Amino acid sequence: MGLFKKKVAVQHYDKENKKPVIKSSICNGEQVAGFKDIHTGKIEEVMLIKNSADLEKFKVMYGIEEEIAKEY
């Protein structure tokens, strides 16, 4: 019934080799949060961002406190 909120488990990512990014489409504005490999430049997409609540959920899910860069 919504009385209790489910705790979001903090997941881990390779902080030495990957950085969090938001991939944004210049055509339709669709945004996808994920991680970019700093060596190869390949982006691993994790979740679709529809609003600011989704972005906050992504940050909490991975324990990200800094600002996330956007790439087009």
pLDDT of residue 70: 94
pLDDT tens profile 11-33? 888 889 999 999 999 999 899 99
- For residue 49, what pLDDT is reported? 96
**Has residue 2 got a pLDDT over 60?**
no
The span from the CA of 53 to the CA of 41, in Å, is 27
Cβ-contact 15, 66 below 8 angstroms? no
Domain range annotation of the chain: 18-71
Could you tell me the pTM of the whole model? 0.80
Between vectors from CA 56 to CA 54 and to CA 57, what angle results, nearest 5°?
60
